[in-house]
Homo-oligomer: A and B are copies of this chain.
Amino acid sequence: MERTLIGDIPHKKDTEILIEGWVEVRRDHGKLMFLVLRDRSGSVQAMAKDDALEQSQPLREQWVVRVHGIVRERPEEMKKDEQNGDVELHVNSVEILSEAAELPFDMDAELNLDTYLDYLPLTLRTQRARDIFSIQATIVQTFRWALIQRGFIEFQAPALTGGDAEGGGDAFTVAYFNDHTAYLATSPQLYKEIMTGAFERVFTIAKIFRAEKSATTRHLAEVTQMDFEMGFIKDYTDVMKMLEAIMRDVCAAVVKQHADVFARFNTKAPLVPQGAFPVLTLREAQEIINVDTSEPDLEPEHERQICAWAREEHGSDFVFITHFPTHKRAFYSLPDPKNPELSYSFDLLFKGLEINSGSQRFHNHDALVATLKERGLDPKHFEYYLQLHAYGVPPHGGCSTGLERITARMLDLSNVKEAAAFPRDMNRIDSRLSE
């Protein structure tokens, strides 16, 4: 008999079916046993008695089974408002595919983050984790699709690099061949720009790595960045418009495919304004929340305040901040020609957190070389990359969205680590690192 997915059971009333899945719940009632069975498509209640009860006796939570049974409508008064809430599987036979050890905790227990992470092979099976990573998969696929539809082409940016390009000093070192030192990429930026010279519109979903000794709720040692870059822009505002369109597509897809998730996370679908996302210069933002306008960036607390303002004043969970001081942005960010102290740069804040950073880039070779020198960077170290500018590149810009960050804010997770399936930080790679 072919396997029926639990999600297809509504079409199988009064039919004998075969399902395969995990035991999520077992409830003994003497001559009856109730089981909740789960597969990738959902869950259903099963009822075993007589021979089937006998076969079900060994079953415990997380055991893996193959079950034959007949789909029966529940009595009216027993129907529930949930998936398969109007039916029950009357078990004919049970075959055990895998056993499971006794669980170390209840699957619906609220665990502290470290315990949750210690037991990921088990805790990833919780409804909460499955919700988070289902939404994350929708976000990344929609991000890609939205760009492909707009003429962007995907490429694979390298993770191994020959130098710490942005000079931040936060790059991990790798023992490469023949005693060479390689570095882990802190951004796919230079490669993205190089590809723009060939394809005009490109994107990449790339791992980046930060050796920052930071253990905040916003930091991971390895993150997934969704980057795009586009040529022939008027200026940085074309990039912002593209990003806004992509974010609208992403939110629409999440809401459409996961409408039921927000209630489980005690939050609401993101507020996407009908009109354009609000845009503030850094200075305007600082004035609104009454902080020192000489500060070169927003503190986390300020980002939350500005987002509260955008929600209140513009009905938007998104707000752009533009014109960060040039010296605080990476060397490839183009200064505003009217005021070179400020750059053609922007951040996108979402529900209290910066999830994206972008800018227009240099497209003039000599101006870029001069900037490198001004910043104390040696153009020789950038010779490979500078070929892009030497051989003709259009005005271009792009930006980078943190996949874990947008996922975390979408569901109001308090720690970005919960939005990485296998988070790495100072103290952990899978297991905790010894002190």
Interfacial residues, chain A to chain B (CB-CB below 8 A) = 3, 5, 20, 22, 39-41, 62-64, 97-101, 103, 119-122, 124-125, 129-130, 133-134, 136-137, 140-141, 144, 148, 151, 153-162, 172-178, 180, 182, 184, 191, 194-195, 197-201, 205, 207, 209, 211, 213, 221-222, 224, 232, 363-365, 383-385, 387-395, 403, 420-422, 424, 426-427, 429-431, 433, 435
Contact = CB atoms under 8 A, between A and B. Distances in A.
Given A162-B431, A392-B22, A200 B426 contact: no
B429 A387 contact: no
Contacts of A394: 20, 64, 97-98
Contacts of A194: 120-121, 124
B390 A100 contact: yes
Given A98-B363, A155-B133, A426 B64 contact: no
Contacts of A388: 121
A121 B197 contact: yes
Nearest to A213: B177
Contacts of A363: 64, 97-98
Contact of A199 (B3, B40, B207): B40
Given A130-B199, A160-B209, A198-B124, A172 B172 contact: no
B200 A39 contact: yes
Given A154-B141, A155-B133, A433 B180 contact: yes
B392 A222 contact: no
A61 B120 CA distance: 55
A391 B122 contact: yes
A97 B148 contact: no
Given A130-B198, A140-B154, A222-B159, A64 B392 contact: yes
A101 B429 contact: no
19 contacts: A62-B391, A62-B392, A97-B394, A98-B393, A121-B194, A121-B197, A121-B388, A124-B197, A129-B198, A133-B155, A141-B144, A156-B207, A158-B222, A160-B209, A160-B222, A160-B424, A172-B174, A174-B184, A176-B221
A148 B156 contact: no
Given A98-B393, A98-B394, A421-B195, A211 B430 contact: no
Given A98-B364, A133-B155, 6 more contacts: A64-B394, A98-B393, A133-B198, A141-B144, A156-B224, A172-B175
- Interface centre among A159, A180, A363, A364, by most chain B C-beta atoms within 10 angstroms, is A159
Interface of A is mostly: mixed
Contacts of A429: 158, 160-162, 176, 180, 182
Contacts of A151: 5, 40-41
A203 to B, nearest CB: 10
A137 B158 contact: no
B99 A392 contact: yes
List the 5 closest A-B pairs by CB distance, nearest first. Answer: A100-B392, A40-B200, A121-B387, A62-B392, A162-B429
Nearest to A129: B198
Given A100-B391, A172-B176, A174-B184, A421 B191 contact: yes
A194 B201 CA distance: 36
Contacts of A22: 392
- Interface centre among A103, A383, A421, A433, by most chain B C-beta atoms within 10 angstroms, is A421
A383 B133 CA distance: 24
Nearest to A7: B151
A50 to B, nearest CB: 25
Contacts of A154: 137, 140-141
Given A100-B391, A391-B122, A431 B159 contact: no
A49 to B, nearest CB: 24
A30 to B, nearest CB: 26
Nearest to A394: B64
B176 A175 contact: no
